[in-house]
């Protein structure tokens, strides 16, 4: 069995390690030199939309998947008649355009912050009239880790936001003063079986995920989040792992965005769950029975961003994952996962790691 993976970054690498354990061979398509997943299988070093490279990936693999959401949808369409491609292109299309994504949430009755389409400076002023301040202006496409966003707190910020982002299709979104953020990760296989992981509680700084801890002591929220994930998975006839990010406000949930792929907020599942999100993604796309999502204690994950200090290698508690990437400010280079007997112990470990390593 051979699986083709578009993208060979750290998510591809972790999929590759899971594939090795399942006895599945991987072949990656990625334009970069020496990407993290290079130690997990052959890498076809070509652009993601290279017709010949896609054709040979389709010819050599039993199924194709992808590990990041900026894969051109046209690339999937090019190969989907020749080989099964999961998650389906429609899921990728919705996730690539924040307006499409929000309309999908609306259609599926998944609550979300108010939003408006923005194509002109006047649209920003109209959106502020409708939504109130603050609002956040986001590019509809290609935003990640807080990039392509500008928060407008007073009318004086409008010009700066328009100068930074005007020219691209945009949306304005109500700024939510959330209590905290969570993500719900689910997997669906070709037969339509679904498993859902316990919620992760996530902390972002400057738009970048810093820590994820699971489980979250909020059964009612977990049930509701599971309902929303099941709705998305069913509606999209989805195959693979999907992550839904949500704001928690006054004991209610509002959807922020979904990712049609394995997700950073699920990295703790490698050590902290009976089956990792990576293994379940592979099981889903290979149409194998999905593995248990039972937690093995209380897990916490700390991202290593920009640099991996020596202290990270000297930790008594925690498993270090070094993706082998060159250091660069703002770049995710690795993560550390801890598992503990109690939430309090887990939180104490996460705190120590954050103070000593990041």
Tell me how far, at minimum, the Cβ of 334 lies from ligand AMP, in Å: 20
253: β partners: 248
φ and ψ at 318, to 5 degrees? 110, 145
By rule CB under 6 A, what string of x and - marks binding of each residue 77-116 to ligand AMP? Answer: ------------------------------------x---
Determine if 136 is a binding residue for ligand AMP (CB under 6 A): yes
Largest CA distance in the chain: 58
d(CA 73, CA 128): 33
Quick one: which of 88, 146, 169, 291 contacts ligand AMP (CB under 6 A)?
A: 146
Judged by CB under 6 A, the stretch of 7-15, 33-41, 170-178, 259-267 that binds ligand AMP is: 170-178
**Closest to ligand AMP by CB, 174 or 280:** 174
**Closest to ligand AMP by CB, 83 or 254:** 254
- Taking CA atoms, 65 is separated from 5, 29, 89, 240, in Å, by 5, 10, 10, 8
d(CA 214, CA 198): 7
Tell me how far, at minimum, the Cβ of 56 lies from ligand AMP, in Å: 34
Quick one: which of 89, 90, 176, 352 contacts ligand AMP (CB under 6 A)?
A: 176
- Long-range contacts from 18-22, C-beta under 8 angstroms, 24+ separation: 18/276, 18/278, 18/279, 18/281, 18/282, 19/282, 21/279, 22/279, 22/282, 22/283, 22/286
Determine if 210 is a binding residue for ligand AMP (CB under 6 A): no
**Closest to ligand AMP by CB, 254 or 315:** 254
Judged by CB under 6 A, the stretch of 19-27, 65-73, 171-179, 297-305 that binds ligand AMP is: 171-179
By rule CB under 6 A, what string of x and - marks binding of each residue 179-208 to ligand AMP? Answer: --x----------------------x--x-
State the DSSP H helix or E strand holding residue 110, giving kind and residue range, or none if neither: none
**Closest to ligand AMP by CB, 256 or 358:** 256
What sign does the dihedral 136-138-140-146 (CA atoms) show?
negative
Determine if 175 is a binding residue for ligand AMP (CB under 6 A): yes
For helices 277-285 and 10-22, angle between their N-to-C axes, nearest 10 degrees: 70
Quick one: which of 173, 199, 267, 332 contacts ligand AMP (CB under 6 A)?
A: 173
φ and ψ at 157, to 5 degrees? -85, -10
Region 253-312 residues binding ligand AMP, contact defined as CB under 6 A: 256-257
Closest CA to 185 of 236, 248, 245, 97: 245
Region 231-250 residues binding ligand AMP, contact defined as CB under 6 A: 245
182: β partners: 201, 246
Tell me how far, at minimum, the Cβ of 190 lies from ligand AMP, in Å: 29
**Closest to ligand AMP by CB, 69 or 181:** 181
| Ramachandran assignment for 331, one of left (phi > 0), alpha (psi -120 to 50 degrees), beta (any other) | beta
Closest CA to 70 of 33, 41, 95: 95
Judged by CB under 6 A, the stretch of 24-32, 71-79, 100-108, 175-183 that binds ligand AMP is: 175-183
**Closest to ligand AMP by CB, 67 or 173:** 173
Determine if 31 is a binding residue for ligand AMP (CB under 6 A): no
Give one DSSP letter per residue of 7-70, joined into a string.
Answer: --SHHHHHHHHHHHHHT-EEEEE--SSS-GGGGGSEEE-S-TT-HHHHHHHHHH-SEEEESSTT
**Closest to ligand AMP by CB, 143 or 291:** 143
Tell me how far, at minimum, the Cβ of 82 lies from ligand AMP, in Å: 33
Q: Taking a C-beta distance cutoff of 8 angstroms, is the pair 91, 85 a contact?
A: no
**Closest to ligand AMP by CB, 174 or 200:** 174
Give the number of residues in contact with ligand AMP, rule: CB under 6 A: 14
Closest CA to 43 of 82, 74, 72, 4: 4
* Residues that bind ligand AMP in the complex, under the rule CB under 6 A: 113, 136, 143, 146, 173-176, 181, 204, 207, 245, 256-257
């Amino acid at each position: 069995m051979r699986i083709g993976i578009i993208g060979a970054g750290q998510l591809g690498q972790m999929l590759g390690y899971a594939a090795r354990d399942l006895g599945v061979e991987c072949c990656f398509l990625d334009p970069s030199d020496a990407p993290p997943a290079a130690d997990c299988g052959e890498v076809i070093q070509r652009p993601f939309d290279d017709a010949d490279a896609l054709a040979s990936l389709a010819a050599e693999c039993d199924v194709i998947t992808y590990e990041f959401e900026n894969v051109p949808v046209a690339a999937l369409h090019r190969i989907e008649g020749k080989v099964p491609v999961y998650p389906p292109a429609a899921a990728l299309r919705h996730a690539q355009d924040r307006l499409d994504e929000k309309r999908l949430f609306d259609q599926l009755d998944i609550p979300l912050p108010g939003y408006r389409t923005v194509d002109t400076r006047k649209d920003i002023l109209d959106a502020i009239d409708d939504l109130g301040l603050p609002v956040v202006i986001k590019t509809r496409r290609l935003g990640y880790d807080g990039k392509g966003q500008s928060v407008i707190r007073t009318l004086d910020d409008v010009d700066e936001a328009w100068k930074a982002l005007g020219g691209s299709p945009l949306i304005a979104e109500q700024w939510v003063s959330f209590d905290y953020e969570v993500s719900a990760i689910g997997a669906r296989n070709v037969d339509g079986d679904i498993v859902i992981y316990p919620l992760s509680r996530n902390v972002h700084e400057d738009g970048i995920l810093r820590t994820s801890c699971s489980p979250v002591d909020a059964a009612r929220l977990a049930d509701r989040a599971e309902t929303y994930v099941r709705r998305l998975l069913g509606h999209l006839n989805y195959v693979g792992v999907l992550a839904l990010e949500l704001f928690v406000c006054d004991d209610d949930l509002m959807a922020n965005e979904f990712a049609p792929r394995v997700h950073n907020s699920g990295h703790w599942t490698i050590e902290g769950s009976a089956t990792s999100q990576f293994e379940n993604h592979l099981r889903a796309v290979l149409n194998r029975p999905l593995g248990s999502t039972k937690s093995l204690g209380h897990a916490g994950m700390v991202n290593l961003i920009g640099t991996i200090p020596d202290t990270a290698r000297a930790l008594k508690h925690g498993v270090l994952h070094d993706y082998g990437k060159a250091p660069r400010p703002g770049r995710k280079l690795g993560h550390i996962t801890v598992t503990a007997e109690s939430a309090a112990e887990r939180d104490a470990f996460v705190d120590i790691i954050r103070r000593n390593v990041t």
